[in-house]
Structure 1
Amino acid sequence: MAERYQVTVDVHVILERAGEILLCLRQGTGYRDGWYCLPSGHLEAGETVVECAIREAREEVGVVIDPGHLRPATVVHHLSPEGDPRIGVFFAAEVWDGEVVNAEPNKCGRVDWVPADRLPDRTVPYTVAGVGFYRSGVSVGVHGWPEFADAGAR
């Protein structure tokens, strides 16, 4: 009998305002430090993806998002350069409570609002893929799998 497929689930939050999205500059994490990513994190045991999105936004950038203001953005089946598969669930929100701050200065150098159509060169490719799929209306995308050449599926 074949083993069941196990995969890490990441949850990403695209905070939007006036054509811009919020990115965090990674610092002191040991992974892609000096690169931008969305507020995001791993799904914890017993937590829903919605709860995770709300938690990550609060922990990383200090805002509180009502579940009713989260919109499904896209899902990305990602294969890291190291060969680790992941499922990324991306949500978008334009409404939240509180002011955006760098709430995790030990993991983040700063937070920046950037044009959604012009992400910085040093943006994590997984983030670039998720934002791109979302902006293109792709519901489910594949990234990092050589045989799929980063194609999206609707």
Structure 2
Amino acid sequence: MPQQPVNDVMLILEREGAVCLAERQGTGYADGMLNLPSGKLDDGEDVFDAVRREALEETGVTVERDALRIVHVMHFRNPEGEPRIGWFFVARHWEGEPRNMEPHKCAGLSWHASDHLPDNTVPYNALGITHWRKGEPFSVHGW
């Protein structure tokens, strides 16, 4: 039976040309690397509900549905060979100040220029940010 891709949602919180990234820790995957607030869809969720939930769970901010724009979709195969569909959203307006809501999985949040991401940014996320900046709505990687 063919393997079905996992649907991931990534939130680009953008402020004055900078994006909010979280440093992974204690997860066993990509610890010490930076990634966007993100996660997988729960049963019964659409991508908008999932990204709003992840924003609140990981950063404590509330993003209204009409403040979200899908800016990129990526069909990706991770280094382990697992297929994924990444839904990249951007929000420029939200309620609250982003803060680390999951210290057991995140060492902290930081802001970085979207055109000069740190070398330790998770490649999947860095590719999505790069494609968003170029105005490219879709990409395929790792196949």
Contact residue 8 and residue 39 of structure 2 kept, 8 A: yes
Give the drift of 1:5.
5.2
TM-score by length of 1: 0.91
Alignment partner, residue 14 of structure 2: 16
Give the drift of 1:105.
0.5
In structure 2, stretches of 5+ residues that fail to align are: none
Structure 1 residues 6-27: Cα deviation after superposition (integer angstroms, max 9, x where no partner): 1100000000000100000000
State the one-letter code of the partner of 2:103: P
Pick aligned residue for 1:47 from 45, 65, 74: 45
Pick aligned residue for 2:92 from 66, 83, 94: 94
Kindly, what percent of the aligned residue pairs are identical?
A: 49
Q: Distance in 1 between matches of 2:70 and 2:5?
A: 20
Alignment partner, residue 105 of structure 2: 107
Q: Distance in 1 between matches of 2:19 and 2:108?
A: 14
Give the drift of 1:73.
1.1
Q: Distance in 1 between matches of 2:82 and 2:72?
A: 20
Alignment partner, residue 122 of structure 2: 124
Matched, 1:134 2:132: yes
State the SS of the aligned residue for 1:60: helix
In structure 1, stretches of 5+ residues that fail to align are: 146-154
State the one-letter code of the partner of 1:29: T
State the SS of the aligned residue for 2:58: helix
Structure 1 residues 30-72: Cα deviation after superposition (integer angstroms, max 9, x where no partner): 1000000000000111001000000000000110000000011
Number of equivalenced pairs: 143
State the SS of the aligned residue for 2:97: coil
Structure 1 residue ranges, 4+ long, deviating more than 3 angstroms after superposition: none
Alignment partner, residue 148 of structure 1: none
Q: Distance in 2 between matches of 1:141 and 1:81?
A: 17
- Mark the CA change 1:5 to 1:82 in structure 2 (over 3 Å): closer, same or farther: closer
State the SS of the aligned residue for 1:56: helix
State the one-letter code of the partner of 1:88: G
Find the structure with the greater CA-based Rg: 1
TM-score by length of 2: 0.97
Q: Distance in 2 between matches of 1:110 and 1:16?
A: 17
Q: Distance in 1 between matches of 2:101 and 2:56?
A: 8
